Amino acid sequence: MTENNIKILKLSSGEEIICDVVQSLDSPYLSVTSPMKLNSYPKATRNGIEEALSLQRWIHFAKTNTYDIPKSQIIVLTEASYGLSKFYQYCVSKSRVEDEDVLTGAPTNRELDDIVEEEWDEEFGSPDSKLIH
Protein backbone atom coordinates (compact mmCIF):
# COMPACT_ATOMS: atom_id res chain seq x y z
CA MET A 1 0.00 0.00 0.00
CA THR A 2 1.59 3.24 -1.12
CA GLU A 3 0.32 6.65 -0.17
CA ASN A 4 0.05 7.87 -3.77
CA ASN A 5 -2.41 5.04 -4.56
CA ILE A 6 -4.71 5.90 -1.67
CA LYS A 7 -7.73 7.65 -3.13
CA ILE A 8 -11.06 8.98 -1.99
CA LEU A 9 -14.02 7.99 -4.15
CA LYS A 10 -17.40 9.68 -4.11
CA LEU A 11 -19.91 7.19 -5.46
CA SER A 12 -23.23 7.88 -7.15
CA SER A 13 -24.89 6.31 -4.07
CA GLY A 14 -23.57 9.24 -2.02
CA GLU A 15 -21.04 7.11 -0.16
CA GLU A 16 -17.48 8.28 0.20
CA ILE A 17 -14.84 5.59 0.48
CA ILE A 18 -11.11 5.65 0.91
CA CYS A 19 -9.17 2.81 -0.68
CA ASP A 20 -5.95 1.67 -2.25
CA VAL A 21 -6.36 1.72 -6.05
CA VAL A 22 -4.62 -1.31 -7.52
CA GLN A 23 -5.73 -1.20 -11.15
CA SER A 24 -7.54 1.20 -13.39
CA LEU A 25 -6.30 0.41 -16.92
CA ASP A 26 -8.77 0.33 -19.80
CA SER A 27 -11.33 -1.69 -17.89
CA PRO A 28 -14.80 -0.32 -17.16
CA TYR A 29 -13.99 -1.13 -13.50
CA LEU A 30 -11.65 0.37 -10.96
CA SER A 31 -10.00 -2.32 -8.83
CA VAL A 32 -9.52 -1.28 -5.23
CA THR A 33 -8.35 -2.99 -2.09
CA SER A 34 -9.24 -2.41 1.57
CA PRO A 35 -12.06 0.07 0.94
CA MET A 36 -13.34 1.88 4.03
CA LYS A 37 -16.36 4.13 4.29
CA LEU A 38 -15.75 7.68 5.48
CA ASN A 39 -18.17 8.83 8.18
CA SER A 40 -18.18 12.36 9.49
CA TYR A 41 -20.13 13.42 12.54
CA PRO A 42 -20.32 16.44 14.84
CA LYS A 43 -18.27 16.21 18.02
CA ALA A 44 -18.50 18.51 21.02
CA THR A 45 -15.14 19.92 22.10
CA ARG A 46 -13.98 22.73 24.37
CA ASN A 47 -13.93 24.98 21.32
CA GLY A 48 -17.49 24.12 20.33
CA ILE A 49 -18.79 21.67 17.76
CA GLU A 50 -16.20 20.25 15.38
CA GLU A 51 -16.42 17.67 12.65
CA ALA A 52 -14.92 14.28 13.49
CA LEU A 53 -14.11 11.41 11.17
CA SER A 54 -14.37 7.66 11.49
CA LEU A 55 -13.64 4.87 9.05
CA GLN A 56 -15.52 1.61 8.86
CA ARG A 57 -15.36 -1.36 6.56
CA TRP A 58 -17.23 -0.74 3.36
CA ILE A 59 -18.13 -4.39 2.83
CA HIS A 60 -18.37 -6.73 5.78
CA PHE A 61 -17.76 -10.50 5.93
CA ALA A 62 -16.35 -10.86 2.40
CA LYS A 63 -13.79 -13.49 1.45
CA THR A 64 -11.79 -11.04 -0.61
CA ASN A 65 -10.29 -7.67 0.14
CA THR A 66 -10.20 -6.50 -3.49
CA TYR A 67 -13.28 -5.19 -5.27
CA ASP A 68 -14.11 -3.98 -8.76
CA ILE A 69 -16.18 -0.79 -8.77
CA PRO A 70 -17.86 0.22 -12.03
CA LYS A 71 -16.32 3.49 -13.17
CA SER A 72 -19.82 4.63 -14.12
CA GLN A 73 -20.65 4.66 -10.37
CA ILE A 74 -17.75 6.95 -9.48
CA ILE A 75 -18.55 10.66 -9.45
CA VAL A 76 -15.24 11.94 -8.05
CA LEU A 77 -11.83 10.35 -7.56
CA THR A 78 -9.16 12.32 -5.71
CA GLU A 79 -5.98 11.78 -3.73
CA ALA A 80 -6.30 11.51 0.02
CA SER A 81 -4.42 13.98 2.19
CA TYR A 82 -1.26 12.82 3.94
CA GLY A 83 -2.94 12.76 7.37
CA LEU A 84 -5.98 10.88 6.13
CA SER A 85 -3.73 8.38 4.31
CA LYS A 86 -1.86 7.67 7.54
CA PHE A 87 -5.13 7.29 9.49
CA TYR A 88 -6.46 4.95 6.78
CA GLN A 89 -3.31 2.81 6.86
CA TYR A 90 -3.58 2.57 10.64
CA CYS A 91 -7.25 1.51 10.44
CA VAL A 92 -6.54 -1.09 7.74
CA SER A 93 -3.69 -2.62 9.74
CA LYS A 94 -5.83 -2.64 12.90
CA SER A 95 -8.73 -4.33 11.09
CA ARG A 96 -6.38 -7.04 9.78
CA VAL A 97 -5.17 -7.76 13.32
CA GLU A 98 -8.78 -7.93 14.53
CA ASP A 99 -9.61 -10.34 11.69
CA GLU A 100 -6.76 -12.61 12.74
CA ASP A 101 -7.90 -12.45 16.36
CA VAL A 102 -11.42 -13.41 15.36
CA LEU A 103 -10.21 -16.33 13.26
CA THR A 104 -7.82 -17.68 15.88
CA GLY A 105 -10.13 -16.99 18.81
CA ALA A 106 -13.33 -18.26 17.18
CA PRO A 107 -15.34 -20.69 19.30
CA THR A 108 -15.46 -24.34 18.31
CA ASN A 109 -18.72 -26.00 17.31
CA ARG A 110 -18.83 -27.68 20.73
CA GLU A 111 -18.43 -24.32 22.48
CA LEU A 112 -21.23 -22.87 20.34
CA ASP A 113 -23.45 -25.84 21.25
CA ASP A 114 -22.68 -25.26 24.93
CA ILE A 115 -23.68 -21.60 24.60
CA VAL A 116 -26.98 -22.59 22.98
CA GLU A 117 -27.64 -25.14 25.75
CA GLU A 118 -26.90 -22.57 28.46
CA GLU A 119 -29.25 -20.05 26.86
CA TRP A 120 -31.94 -22.70 26.50
CA ASP A 121 -31.57 -23.76 30.13
CA GLU A 122 -31.66 -20.14 31.26
CA GLU A 123 -34.77 -19.40 29.22
CA PHE A 124 -36.75 -22.63 29.63
CA GLY A 125 -35.04 -24.54 32.39
CA SER A 126 -32.92 -27.64 32.26
CA PRO A 127 -34.57 -30.77 30.83
CA ASP A 128 -33.79 -32.41 34.20
CA SER A 129 -35.60 -29.64 36.06
CA LYS A 130 -39.05 -30.42 37.48
CA LEU A 131 -39.95 -26.73 37.54
CA ILE A 132 -42.79 -25.92 35.15
CA HIS A 133 -43.64 -22.32 34.26
Q: Which residue ranges make up each domain of the chain?
A: 3-123
Q: What is the CATH number of domain 3-123?
A: 2.30.30.100
> What is the rounded CA–CA span in Å between residue 19 and residue 79?
10
Count other Cβ atoms within 10 Å, centred on residue 101: 10
pLDDT at residue number 115: 74
Residues of the chain with pLDDT under 50: none
Total-model pTM: 0.69
